[in-house]
Amino acid sequence: MQSVLADKAVSVSELKKNPSAVIGGADGGPVAVLNHNRVMGYLVPAEAYEAMIERLEDLELAEIARTRAGEKPVPVSLDDL
């Protein structure tokens, strides 16, 4: 059985009928969107989505920094910049 990673779940038809009520009833948390009792996606508040994207970008930049930390530095003068 597929796990649902949200405290609230709605069917696609419920979401179509009243999306504002679904979002309002989520209390800022994610809502699993189901189609024939299978999770088709998650509806998350804009703030949560933005925070997730920012976190992913931070992780990507941290990985780049870790990779480059082991590289030999290249000397550059201010005049070259």
Its CATH class, for the domain covering 8-69, is alpha beta
Segments making up each domain of the chain, as ranges: 8-69
DSSP labels, 5-32 = -SSEEEEHHHHHH-HHHHHHTTTTS-EE
CB 18 within 8 A of CB 43: no
At 51-64, the pLDDT tens digits run 999 999 999 999 99
- Mean model confidence pLDDT for the chain: 93
Given this model, what pLDDT does residue 1 score?
62
| pLDDT surpasses 90 at 80 | no
Q: What is the pTM of this model?
A: 0.72
